[in-house]
Amino acid sequence: MEIQEVFGLYEGDLKRVERYLEDQQQSYIQLIPEIANHIIQSGGKRLRPLLLLIASDLCGYEGKRRYSLASVMEFIHTASLLHDDVIDRADMRRGKDAANRVWGNSASVLVGDYLYSKAFKMLADDEDPAVQKLLSTTTTTMVEGEISQLVRSCSIEITEKEYLSVIERKTAVLISASCAIGAILAGAPESDIEALARFGMRLGMAFQLTDDALDYVASEKEFGKTIGKDLTEGKVTLPLIGAYKKSSPEEKELIRKTVEGKNVLNDDIAGVIAVINKYEGIGYTLDMADRFIKEGKAFIGPFKDSTPKDAFLAIADYVVERRL
């Protein structure tokens, strides 16, 4: 199964989710849906809602709660993006001007807060303690991941282990929760819920690692941001960590200077990217992403063969093969 087939299979369900997203972001304050729509309708793949829908399907749940909870996942994700862009002083998001660039930091933060609040209002209405507990823990962990990345920004002194911990908390936990909630809705056995959570965690790790690699190789037209954007923002990701370990003292000094943002020139950024390519930092990162995907697939191996299981496997392959 190819990724296009997956979206085709769940097209009707995703349209139901879109209607929930549109209805729930409405407010008498026009700025709220204006900013929310700017990012929600900017070309995101709806990965987290899709994973929840597939997990529900895999475990046999066909009720309406999957649509509202899939919307919750997208609201939480969107809120985190709005906050991320303010923290990162981002100019672009998915090939468009970032919301903070158009409306300013204050408006972006407040609308992000609104979406978080809306998500938890929807969770309260859903009245499922297991889902509420999981997502309250998940969002707390996500913020911890953001803060952890913030305190390590503009510093090359981050270890591979520390960085993997950051992306697990910042990115992977929400993808993991999306998979687990689909199983919770179905009343699946704890072993199945745990297996899907672990699949989602590995998928999320691979997703972020692939993003890290694409930051240094994908064009702005393909990926929605300029090559080396993470580097200019002082973010030390795995391609750079892997290359730094192998680089010469002169190369290490160039990397340190560039990451710390001290009199950085375009030639410096190009030089660091050349070092990453020299020491195969991209390949190192993609190889690790591939290992996470293999681990993830093993967790859903025991589930009986079915269309939703094939859809999960197709998404897993897409994550490490994508160029968008």
Place of tokens 């919770």: 184
Per-residue pLDDT tens over the stretch 141-191: 999 999 988 888 878 888 999 999 999 999 999 999 999 999 999 999 999
Between the two ends of the chain, the Cα-to-Cα distance in Å is 19
Using CA atoms, how far apart are residues 125 and 258, in angstroms rounded to an integer? 48
Per-residue pLDDT tens over the stretch 37-59: 888 877 678 999 999 999 999 99
Longest dimension (CA), the chain: 60
Q: What is the mean pLDDT of the chain?
A: 90
From residue 289, alpha-carbon distances to 30, 209, 285 in Å are 41, 6, 6
Report the number of distinct structural domains present in the chain: 1
Q: What is the pLDDT of residue 225?
A: 53
Using CA atoms, how far apart are residues 261 and 234, in angstroms rounded to an integer? 7
Residue 208 clears pLDDT 90, i.e. is over it: yes
Task: Measure the CA dihedral 307/311/313/318, to 10°.
Answer: 160
Q: What is the pLDDT of residue 286?
A: 95
Cβ neighbors of 205 (< 8 A, separation 6 or more) are 164, 167, 168, 171, 172, 289, 292
Q: What is the pLDDT of residue 324?
A: 38
Using CA atoms, how far apart are residues 39 and 82, in angstroms rounded to an integer? 8
Q: What is the pLDDT of residue 102?
A: 84
From residue 184, alpha-carbon distances to 19, 128, 138, 180, 187 in Å are 23, 10, 15, 6, 5
Per-residue pLDDT tens over the stretch 88-142: 787 777 778 888 888 988 999 999 999 999 999 999 999 999 999 999 999 999 9
pTM metric for this prediction: 0.92
Using CA atoms, how far apart are residues 83 and 103, in angstroms rounded to an integer? 13
- Give me the CATH number covering residue 100: 1.10.600.10
Upper half-sphere CA count for residue 72 (Cβ side, 13 Å): 28
Per-residue pLDDT tens over the stretch 212-252: 998 888 555 554 556 777 887 778 999 999 999 999 999 99
CA 302, chain centre distance (Å): 26
Q: Which domain holds residue 17?
A: 3-321
Yes or no: say if 148 and 164 are a contact pair by the CB < 8 Å rule.
no
Residue 12: φ, ψ to 5°: -65, -45
Per-residue pLDDT tens over the stretch 255-293: 998 888 776 777 888 899 999 999 999 999 999 999 999
Using CA atoms, how far apart are residues 34 and 31, in angstroms rounded to an integer? 5
Q: What is the pLDDT of residue 112?
A: 92
Yes or no: say if 152 and 236 are a contact pair by the CB < 8 Å rule.
yes
